[in-house]
Amino acid sequence: ALIVVFQPEIRKFLLMIGSTNFGKKGSLFKPFKFLKTETINETDVDAIIMACNKMGSTKTGALIVLERNNSLDFLTNTGDLMNIKVTQPIIESIFFKNSPLHDGAIIIENNIVKATRVILPVSNDTNLPQRFGLRHRAAVGVTERTDALAIVVSEETGQVAYFKDGEFIMFNDTQELAEIIKKDLG
């Protein structure tokens, strides 16, 4: 019965243990800062947020997943593999409505777009707000199953949403959002 009750937590723990990045990025030793072997995450959060703001103003839908300690290779293989440095114009062009790459999510690791058109697991949580569409459900799903972070731009409202650990994270403005993401990536 315990396995059924704690299935999501057990899955997340096993993903962390089985991750190719486990230990390498110092996740085991995070409480001991002097033992930290982790390199500083170089993801250009400001470029991502500026792109999200611009896409929001044109109601261009987007789903951006930021990889942290857990490897997301099992997800990148569902999309088109890339190796593109993150910039505001790159993100905007990927999600442009007529772009062949705009469907699905993009996965970013350490300022590199690793994959586009990625198919993400969708959350089965029945308590999600009605205003959350499929992109939001996918953001909840990927952050429930891994330690990744997800940013969604709603195609209907143009609003930017942020998800971590399967939860919608509130913020006042995009400057605050950028600071939250930088802290979460650090």
CATH class of 39-185: alpha beta
Alpha-carbon distance 50 to 96, whole Å?
15
- Residues 5-13 have a mean pLDDT of 66
- DSSP helix/strand/coil, 8: helix
Sequence spans of domains, the chain: 39-185
* Stronger pLDDT, 18 or 107, i.e. the higher one: 107
Helix orientation angle between 174-185 and 45-57, rounded to the nearest 10 degrees: 140
In this predicted structure, the answer to whether residue 60 has a pLDDT above a threshold of 90 is: yes
Specify the pTM: 0.80
pLDDT at 133: 87
**What pLDDT, in 10s, does the model give residues 64-101?**
999 999 899 999 999 999 999 999 999 999 999 888 88
